[in-house]
Structure 1
Amino acid sequence: MAVAHPQCLALLGGGFSTDDDGLLDDWVLSRARAPRPAVCFVPTASGDAPAYVDRFRAAFAARPCEPSVLQLFRRELDDDALRSFLLAQDVVYVGGGNTANLLAVWRAHGVDRLLREACDRGTLLCGISAGANCWAEGSHTDSFGPLTHLSDGLGLLPGSVCPHWDSEPGRRPSYRAAVATGKLPAGWAVEDGAGALFTDGAPTEAVTRVRGAGVYRVAPDGAGGASEDALPCRFLGDDAPALPR
């Protein structure tokens, strides 16, 4: 009989893509199922940008993990090898970029199905920006230029996701409006510097490397607008920077 594992997902508002302190990346590794986890970076949303891949390799080379990269724009694995590779990962870490393009490429290669299977087997799925959007039913995105709603995603996390809640102009009012009008289901807004872990669809931990940054539940308020409720966040370190206000 197959062993049932909880589905674990992490939404990141930072990490090696944007930060030098490594606090969010260390937190992700600490939540993996293995003490020295196999960590696969998936840079599809950036078109497998070489500089992004190099930054990942530099950031994780000295960490207690076994890092690797899956590049689909120059795919080298056949279907069986790709499945074996992804199911062997303890963490799949998805980079930022274009959410719509990411989902289209994954579906063309069957990666969407393999990630569902990996998640069911206990792999921690995580990512920043597009790499956070992709796990939900829908997301707030600039994949098509202007900020808009994307009613598409893998649906492993119920509801919707909005990254860069505090750092990109227009994010907050646009996402609130999409949730208030039902264009997106209620969901989670992640500020830069914060992260949240979800287990079987429910938030089980929220952290921040930046004092004042957080993760918010955004839902219709019953009066034509949207409400925001902050998750309690644990501060990751005394050396973390303060959030400019």
Structure 2
Amino acid sequence: MNSSAQILAIGGGGFTHATDPVLETYLLSISPVNNPSIGFLPTASGDSETRIKRFYSRFSAETCRPDHLALFGSVSEVERWVKTQDIIYVGGGNTKSMLGVWREWGLPELLREACHRGTILSGVSAGAVCWFDIALSDSGGRGLEPLPMLQLLRGSCCPHYTNEPNRQQAFESQIQSGKLPAGFGIDDGVALHFSNGNLEKVIKTREQAAAYSVCAGATAPVVKQLS
């Protein structure tokens, strides 16, 4: 990963839920491009029309050029679309299905190449965890299970962290047992900005919301709030 590689991982909320506009403002602010192109991948929600409309409603008010790529209709020029984006934003939903559809269209490799070129990668929930090595997903219908991701960021990640106690408990338990590597828990309304694979900044938009580092301890998980 080159020194310009940037990823913004959002725990929950944002424009798809009509909340936390500060997160999108921050995302645009880290682009070195004036009037950047920003592309939305709504795959995890099955290309939800509601979320696509919210994307355009939110970003049409900013100095940027919004576009989206739907993979459940007539699709063409996927590679060209990825290459023309300065920022890519991945929406939330079913992580396992999203990754499966992406593989059919060759998106994992295209997104890795985009990252190496300096395209800013971002997303919420499924769109946050997909950049890490591995994450917990309940998309398979068998509870929360480890699922390999795109491996652009080291370790594991859990969205909606303290907002969904069962998810938090499973994440900490599986890190302690060694089923997951150490990683990050991110609350709704919080984003982690990574630059060149390293955590650069924590962005919080809600009182009491936070992000955490989680690793295995001698007898229990070690959880530390990030500032």
TM-score normalised per structure 1: 0.88
* C-alpha separation in 2, matches of 1:217 and 1:26: 25
User: What corresponds to 1:59 in structure 2?
Assistant: 58
CA shift, 1:167, in A, is: 1.2
Q: Deviations over 1:8-34 (max 9, x none)?
A: 111113210124351111111111231
Tell me if 1:168 matches 2:164.
Answer: yes
> In the TM superposition, what are the counterparts of 1:79-98 in structure 2 within 5 Å?
81-98=77-94
* C-alpha separation in 2, matches of 1:139 and 1:66: 31
User: What corresponds to 2:8 in structure 1?
Assistant: 10
CA shift, 1:35, in A, is: 2.3
Tell me if 1:33 matches 2:28.
Answer: no
Instruction: Pick the aligned partner of 2:225 from 217, 221, 230.
Output: 230
Greater CA deviation, 173-182 or 12-21?
Answer: 12-21
In structure 2, the CA distance between the partners of 1:35 and 1:88, relative to structure 1 (3 Å rule), is same
* C-alpha separation in 1, matches of 2:32 and 2:3: 11
Tell me the secondary structure at the aligned position of residue 218 of structure 1: strand
Identity of matched residues, %: 38
User: What corresponds to 2:95 in structure 1?
Assistant: 99
Paired residues of 2:213 and 2:225 also in contact (CA < 8 A): yes
Q: Deviations over 1:82-132 (max 9, x none)?
A: 222211211100000011111111011001110001000001111111101
CA shift, 1:76, in A, is: 2.5
* C-alpha separation in 2, matches of 1:164 and 1:20: 14
Deviating above 3 A after TM superposition, structure 1's stretches of 4 or more consecutive aligned residues are none
- Bigger relative CO (Cα 8 Å, ≥ 6 apart): 2
* C-alpha separation in 1, matches of 2:203 and 2:19: 17
In structure 2, the CA distance between the partners of 1:147 and 1:164, relative to structure 1 (3 Å rule), is farther
In structure 2, the CA distance between the partners of 1:75 and 1:158, relative to structure 1 (3 Å rule), is farther
Instruction: Pick the aligned partner of 2:208 from 206, 212, 231.
Output: 212
Paired residues of 2:18 and 2:54 also in contact (CA < 8 A): no
Tell me the secondary structure at the aligned position of residue 184 of structure 1: coil
* C-alpha separation in 1, matches of 2:143 and 2:204: 25
Structure 1 alignment gaps of length 5 or more: 233-245
Paired residues of 1:151 and 1:184 also in contact (CA < 8 A): no
* C-alpha separation in 2, matches of 1:188 and 1:21: 20
